[in-house]
Structure 1
Amino acid sequence: MTFSIAAQVGDAFGVAVASKFPFVGAVVPEVRLGVGAVATQAMARVSYRGTALAALAEGLDASVAVEACTTPDEAREHRQLGVVGVDAQATFTGAECMDWAGGVCGRESSGGYAIQGNILTGPEVVEAMESAWLGSAGASLTDRLIATLLAGDEAGGDSRGRQGAALYAVAPGAGYDGCGVLADVRVDDHPDAPRELARLLRVNDLLFGRPEDVQPLTGALAEEVSARLARLGHGGDDVAEALERWAGEANYEMRMTPDGIDAKVLAALREETA
């Protein structure tokens, strides 16, 4: 019912998944800081997530984590599983999964990945996903995950169509108030779920990302920002204080910095006052 990737970039782990199945984000992905990422699908068994992560937390290999899930399960041949740990990865496709079904896993310098899918248009889906993952080396985990998912969708994806998608990723100190969540984004029922997921991920990044490409609030830029803020009802002599007030109202507080204005916040301000 699904195609997914579980992956690692340094100390960040995540899963991205899409399917002609609603609420897929409630079933397939599970990620734990410092431990790894798991995707359970086909005739998914949700308990695989906890079993696999517990094995990884004990220091066991990803392939052993897969065995811990599948060996005692009489229905294992109807299931699929991807597991990525700190130093190992594995993918499993049961012999009775609906065609086309299969997966691939590997490791690069930044970490491991496991890609798998079932009821796909063909093996080209998994092949396109692996190419997209490897070709995006150097980008952030969330950017790589969504690029990989979109590549699989563009290659044919789920042969039944589109409905649900999700992306869940963690990294130490990331997210709101440093909670560790890079992204927890779901599309539960949408005719173009993968692209809607990509749109929501951009919003997530704007709200929860860290400041980047910061420019000092001096000279012409300070004058521009002050004028735009005044049009939004946030005028005042101190442009930094006015920016802080507007940013809090617009939910951009995570991107605030005493060093100036974040590039994405500036773009949002310009768009709102265009």
Structure 2
Amino acid sequence: MTFSILAFDDETGRIGGAAATGNLCVGGWVLRADSLAGASASQGAYPSTLWGEEALRMMRNGKTATETLGALVSADTGAVHRQLALMDTQGKTAAHTGIENVDAKHAIAENGLVVSGNMLKSVDVIEAIFSTYKASGSQPFEDRLISAIEAGQNAGSDFRGLMSAALKIVGRNSAPYDLRIDYHQAPIKALRDLHERAQSPEYHQWLDRVPTENNPNQPADGEQKIDQ
């Protein structure tokens, strides 16, 4: 019912994900990210939000993506109905696709990039997301992720069509970037439109002043403060 991508941005050290589905609220259901842990995309026929949250907890406590995936899958008798993609803070990845998920289903994982999906028109959707992200290195990280899921839509998409889309990016030196389209006839286009609206100088000036993991006391005393 979903296709998703998790990626590591070598230039900034940020971790991000994007997803789209033919159901409501993909951002709330699928994507989780923590700059001190990594990212997860928990999806499938019967997705487990518990997997997504527990994966971040385990990786924050030092488990690798592979160790975390193995522990979660082995402990859940419903794992055959679920799909999980993980990325730890080192950019290491792991992916599980349960056999009871609806075809077409597929995942591709390498260091710094993992793409997965189920209920797709064909596995070409995953290949298109993967190859488009790899070929878009000159674009900003946010645009690379959106372009990747646009390619997945163009390659066949969720075979029911799409209803929601989301983008989530975290980093120790930046504020979380969390955009969600929970219900729309063209959710990926709406997501790109929202992202473009968020590029306004005023919004970016505000983002540059909010606390981050590496600078939790922003703005420093005496600096201009901007209200949300």
Query: Displacement of 1:7 after TM fit?
Result: 1.5
Segments of 5+ residues of structure 1 without an aligned counterpart are: 175-179, 212-247, 254-274
Cα distance in structure 2, aligned partners of 1:203 and 1:91: 33
Query: In structure 2, do the counterparts of structure 1 residues 134 and 75 end up closer, same or farther at CA, with 3 Å as the change threshold?
Result: same
Distance 1:69 1:5 in 2: 20
Out of 15, 39, 57, the residue aligned to residue 13 of structure 1 is: 15
State the shift of 1:210 in Å. 5.7
Which one has the largest radius of gyration?
1
**Could you tell me which of 95, 100, 117 is aligned with 1:96?**
100
Counterpart residue number, 1:2: 2
Contact 2:6 2:86 in 1 (8 A): yes
Aligned residues: 204
Q: Give the TM-score normalised by the residue count of structure 2.
A: 0.84
User: Match for residue 203 of structure 1?
Assistant: 197
* In 1: Cα distance, 2:205 partner to 2:136 partner: 21
* Deviation for aligned residue 1:173: 3.4
- 1:6 touches 1:83 (CA, 8 Å); kept in 2? yes
Query: Which structure 2 residue ranges, 5 or more long, are not aligned?
Result: 207-225
When you count helix as a share of all residues, which structure comes out higher? 1
Deviation at 1:52, TM superposition (A): 0.9
Stretches of 4+ aligned residues off by more than 4 angstroms: none
- Rounded to whole Å, the distance in 2 between the matches of 1:164 and 1:8 is 23
Distance in 1 of aligned mates of 2:69 and 2:30: 15
Alpha-carbon distance in 2 for matches of 1:3, 1:210:
33
2 CA distance for matches of 1:116 and 1:44?
A: 13
**What are the residue-to-residue correspondences of 1:130-209 with 2, within 5 Å?**
130-174=130-174, 180-181=175-176, 183-206=177-200, 208-209=203-204
Amino acid at match of 2:74: T
Instruction: Tell me the distance in 2 between the aligned counterparts of 1:191 and 1:12.
Output: 30
SS in 1 for 2:166: strand
TM-score, normalization by structure 1: 0.71
